[in-house]
Structure 1
Amino acid sequence: MSFSKNLVYYKTEAEVEFMKKAATLVSKTLTEVAKMLKPGVTTLQIDKLCAEFVKDNSAIPSFYNYRGYPHHICASVNDVVVHGFPNDIALKDGDIVSIDMGVILNGWHGDHAYTFVIGEASADTMKLVNITKESLYKGIEKAIVNNRIGDIAFAIQEHTERKHKYGVVRELVGHGLGKNLHEDPNVPNFGMRGTGMKLKENLVLAIEPMINMGKKDVFTDSDGWTVKTKDGLPSVHFEHDVCVKRGKALILSDYTIIEAAEQANPNLTPSAVISF
């Protein structure tokens, strides 16, 4: 999702810790998803699991009713880029599904996403999944004090579009995060180095490459939310919550627990594990 509040907030160290707890709860919820995914599961079942897990952990699912969104998570399968509605269609072998979700914990938002591969996917699909995940970390490497938003954007575009000829979605971007689900600045996945807002310490960003196997072009379905690739080819979405620091960014969300569950589930093909 990408709605701007025209606000830039720098957090205190204590507030960053609160945000880390919120981001980690999203990670823990996605870990539960990784444990239950298999052919035959529906995204409505995933939605129910996530809503219950978040509420059981004294938090609020932040997507539900946000700007009228009717579900607790976004579940985007295959050619759906983002904002896919959960439904009762059974996932099948070879599907890829991005689960994007947010929580409000102690007044602070966590918001991130992970793309899972059900069963065995094609080599081309696995390459797209891994390159997109790699590009997320390429962008995070640039989320340091005195760099600019364009440095993050360029790093993602360089790794995906320029090196591998994938389509980088233009209409949807990452964003600031805090007591609001969407704050300024916007964080595109394309752009020029040295441009955009200068990054200062304790700015928290949701960095989220949305990368298409084919062309960059997308359209919004008749439900007003579901964004799909125009050419019908797969799209992949990964997202981390990141705090700008000096020298090295601080990742607030935690893929390691998701990856461990993913690797332990014989019904999933794990994506690359990337150290940071």
Structure 2
Amino acid sequence: MVELKTEEQFALMREAGLVVARTLELLRGEVKDGVTTARLDALAEDSIRSQGAVPSFKGYGGGHGAPAFPGVICASINHEIVHGIPGDQVVRDGDIVSIDCGAIYQGWHGDAAITVACGGIDPALAELMRVTEESMWQGIAAIKDGDRLNNIGRAIQSYVRKQGLYGIVEGYGGHGIGSQMHMDPLVFNHRTMDRGPRMQVGMALAIEPMLTLGHKQTVELDDGWTVVTRDGSSAAHFEHTVALTAQGLWVTTAFDGGKERLAALGVPAHP
């Protein structure tokens, strides 16, 4: 079942979203040659807890022989797509690092991700990051009361296919979010035969495309979490949490609520 929120609940999700936004902005400035992903993880935990929130990811999952996620953030370098476990990996100039972060504020969740360049990077990587981020905004702009959910995946795929030969990762996508981090519905980043449910006011969705410079095939590592490209090509990942309100879209994990980027796409934003 899809959870529908009130304006008051969306306001709490906005607080959670701002915790995430501030934390990611902090980490963006800390991605430098020689930093470890464990250091980024420690900074994230301090940031989230100092703002009166709780990390969403730490201890997530587990059971049936699978390990719970041990980190506060997911830190995925180069060919790692998503769910990278923070540790002693060292970031070097020329790398790109995808950082996924979640926080809980008074029982409500925010979830967002960015991909950050370390130093000077290959122009192809910079373009991969640009296309991935813009495809996320194209997907966000497709959220509309009464329309079918698959319009989001259609918008993402249509944009990406016009930009070049990028792999659109399948099997990992967006999701409903609110009183839990992962909720119905699953949001694909590509067209599907199933048009999905109708979107409606009160829904909150995390939109998170993941693109690669090569093929879309993935492999999960033995740690039970880290997902990498099968062909070793680099990947990028961007994500925002979006509330569908009666006044328009409210990107709860964007500092301006998404107003600037949505206005450019002709989409009304929450005031």
Fold in common (TM above 0.5): yes
- Secondary structure, in 3 states, of the residue corresponding to 1:253? coil
How far the C-alpha of 1:256 sits from its partner, in A, is 6.5
Across the aligned residues of Structure 1 and Structure 2, the Cα RMSD in angstroms comes to 1.7
Amino acid at match of 1:135: S
| TM alignment of 1:1-276, pairs within 5 A | 7-67=1-61, 68-161=68-161, 163-192=163-192, 195-245=195-245, 248-254=248-254, 275-276=261-262
Count of paired positions: 254
Gaps of 5+ in 1: 1-6, 258-273
How far the C-alpha of 1:56 sits from its partner, in A, is 1.1
How far the C-alpha of 1:191 sits from its partner, in A, is 1.1
Amino acid at match of 1:157: Q
Summarize the Cα distance change of 1:255–1:210 in structure 2 as closer, same or farther, 3 Å threshold.
Answer: farther
How far the C-alpha of 1:161 sits from its partner, in A, is 3.6
How far the C-alpha of 1:234 sits from its partner, in A, is 0.5
How far the C-alpha of 1:160 sits from its partner, in A, is 1.5
Identity, in percent, stands at: 37
Structure (1/2) with the larger strand percentage = 2
Question: Matches of 1:16 and 1:43 in 2, distance apart?
Answer: 31
Structure with more contact order per residue of length (Cα contacts < 8 Å, sep ≥ 6): 1
Give per-residue Cα distances to partners, 1:40-91, cap 9 Å, x unaligned: 1111000000011111111111100101111111001000010001121221
Contact 1:166–1:211 (CA under 8 A) maintained in structure 2? yes
Q: TM-score, structure 1 length as denominator?
A: 0.88
Give per-residue Cα distances to partners, 1:173-216, cap 9 Å, x unaligned: 11000111111000010115991110001200000001111111
Gaps of 5+ in 2: 62-67, 263-271
Summarize the Cα distance change of 1:92–1:127 in structure 2 as closer, same or farther, 3 Å threshold.
Answer: same
Q: TM-score, structure 2 length as denominator?
A: 0.90
Give per-residue Cα distances to partners, 1:88-147, cap 9 Å, x unaligned: 122111100011011111110111101100101111111100000000000011111111
